[in-house]
Amino acid sequence: MTREIDSSWVDLEAADGSRFSGFLARPSAPGSYPGILVLMEAFGVNRHIRNVTERIAGEGYLALAPDLYHRSAPRWEGNYEDFSQALVHLRQMTVEHLSADAQGGYRWLSASGAGQSVGAVGFCFGGRVAFLSSTVAPLRAACSFYGGGIAPELLDRAKDVAAPLLLFWGGRDQHIPPEQTRATSDALRAAGKSFIEVTFSEAGHGFFCEERGSYDPEAARMSWPLLLEFFGHHLR
């Protein structure tokens, strides 16, 4: 049952002490709810990410989308047709900054009623951050939608993954070749980690986003209940 929700921007503090904001959506009814970090694409906490955050809240979660570009362009929203602008900000991202932001978001959710029942879901760039988050915060579960850059950049961290992972890939993704998805699963398997891997053979990169030309309604529709089941199992 979808719940009524409230949404607003809230103030956060990263683990390195920097201040930033996040888009919060939560059920309107009083109560304690599990928390989920919603980690943005390369295009910022835009309308699509805010919509996903609100959809997750409607399922009974505290959903928080941190502004990961706050150090270079606070609350910036990009154009899906112009990746060059997003690239300017992406190139300024560091593992250390992203780790500090993920830890800050985790602490905010934990202190706001979620306790230890906190997960993360990320899309594209955010899929990579979801993987990273599972190595630097005590998440209960993490999901990555077409996480570019997990392989090869983060594979040495597979041993540090502390949460079960759900990995969604597009079989026709032109940005993440099959050898990278295989390398990711191979590294997790070698490290003895718990993970689920789902590949939609006909879907491309960004298949979950209805505002992108690569949107795949069937893959998006099928991945949603899998995501909810995954979080329901691990966070409730």
Q: Which residues are catalytic?
A: 124, 173, 205
Contact 199, 171 (CB under 8 A): yes
Q: Which helix (H) or strand (E) holds 25?
A: strand 19-27
Residues 71, 34: Cα–Cα separation, whole Å: 28
Residues 172, 200: Cα–Cα separation, whole Å: 8
Tokens of 174: 């032109």
Edge-to-edge strand ranges of the sheet holding 35-39: 5-13, 19-27, 62-66, 35-39, 118-123, 141-145, 165-170, 195-200
**Residue 85, SS3 per DSSP:** helix
Residues 168, 200: Cα–Cα separation, whole Å: 8
Q: What is the DSSP string of 96-146?
A: HHHHHHHHHHHHHHIIIIITT-EEEEEETHHHHHHHHHHHHS--SEEEEES
Tokens of 197: 């891997």
Residues with Cβ < 8 Å from 150, sequence gap 6 or more? Answer: 127, 128, 131, 144, 180, 184
CA 233 from centroid of its chain's CA atoms:
18
